[in-house]
């Protein structure tokens, strides 16, 4: 008899993942059809349906920000029956999960990190601690150094130190 491994966290089975994605798509499409100004700037970011399909949480983000969360939640609760009905019509599930709604904290956390980095950027560049090289761009001469990243790619496939060339760096040196 095979034993199950304890992963410590919640494991998402392929069926659950498919149901989550299906419910997310149906709810997002139905929100576009609903004529409610409170839901105009709302995106469905994720759905987590329990394995038994009895309950599900719909995570959303709104361009209106945290100030509008109460209003958006009210609108979503008002249209909950319509959303659950759409799930029942468009899916072949025996049970339609009872929906709950929650703002997506991950989106807000990402926005807050971006704001903090934007605040720090002028401070770092004026104090000389960081150069003005854009994020993701290689510093001049970075392809000449070993140590990882795209600079290790070689068009010749060999390991010769001087014969390195990265596509897009201009003409190959002779």
- Over residues 94-118, the pLDDT tens digits come to 889 999 999 988 777 777 788 888 8
How would you label 149-165 residue by residue, b for 16+ Cβ within 10 Å and e otherwise? eebeeeeeeeeeeeebe
pLDDT for residue 64: 82
- Integer-rounded Cα Rg, in Å, for the chain is 25
* Structure-model confidence comparison of residues 168 and 74, the more confident one: 74
> What residues form DSSP beta bridges with 63?
none
Question: How far is residue 72's CA from residue 85's CA, in Å, rounded to a whole number?
Answer: 20
Burial label for 34, CB within 10 Å (0-12, 13-18, 19+), is middle
> Lowest-pLDDT range, 1-5, 60-64, 102-106, 135-139?
1-5
The Cα-based distances of 127 to 1, 76, 110, 120 in angstroms read 64, 48, 26, 11
- Does the pLDDT of residue 29 top 60, yes or no? yes
Task: Look at residue 58 and give its three-state secondary structure.
Answer: strand
pLDDT for residue 82: 96
Question: Who contacts 55 (Cβ-Cβ below 8 Å, separation ≥6)?
Answer: 49, 97, 98, 99, 100
Identify the CATH class of 14-106: alpha beta
For residue 145, how many C-alpha atoms fall within 13 Å in the half-sphere facing its CB? Answer: 8
The separation between CA 130 and the C-alpha centre of its own chain, rounded to angstroms, equals 28
Share of the chain above pLDDT 70, in %: 64
pLDDT for residue 134: 54
* Beta-strand relationship, 55-62 and 42-49: antiparallel
* Beta-strand relationship, 55-62 and 98-103: parallel
Structure tokens at 161: 């130190």
pLDDT, average across residues 21-36:
96
Structure tokens at 87: 């799930």
The pLDDT-based confidence of 162 (bands split at 50, 70, 90) is very low
């Amino acid at each position: 008899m095979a034993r199950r491994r304890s992963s410590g966290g919640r494991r998402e089975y392929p069926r659950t993942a498919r149901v989550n994605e299906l419910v997310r798509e149906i709810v997002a499409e139905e929100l576009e059809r609903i004529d409610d100004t409170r839901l105009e700037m709302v995106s469905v970011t994720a759905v987590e349906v329990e394995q038994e399909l009895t309950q599900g949480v719909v995570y959303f983000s709104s361009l209106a920000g945290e100030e509008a969360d109460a209003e958006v939640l009210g609108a979503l609760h008002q249209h909950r029956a319509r959303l659950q009905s759409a799930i029942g019509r468009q899916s072949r599930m025996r049970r339609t999960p009872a929906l709950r709604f929650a703002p997506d904290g991950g989106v807000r956390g990402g926005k807050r990190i971006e704001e903090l980095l934007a605040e720090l950027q002028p401070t770092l560049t004026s104090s000389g601690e960081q150069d003005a090289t854009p994020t993701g761009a290689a510093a001049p001469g970075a392809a000449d150094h070993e140590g990882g990243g795209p600079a290790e790619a070689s068009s010749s496939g060999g390991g010769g130190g001087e014969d390195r060339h990265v596509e897009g760096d201009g003409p190959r040196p002779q």
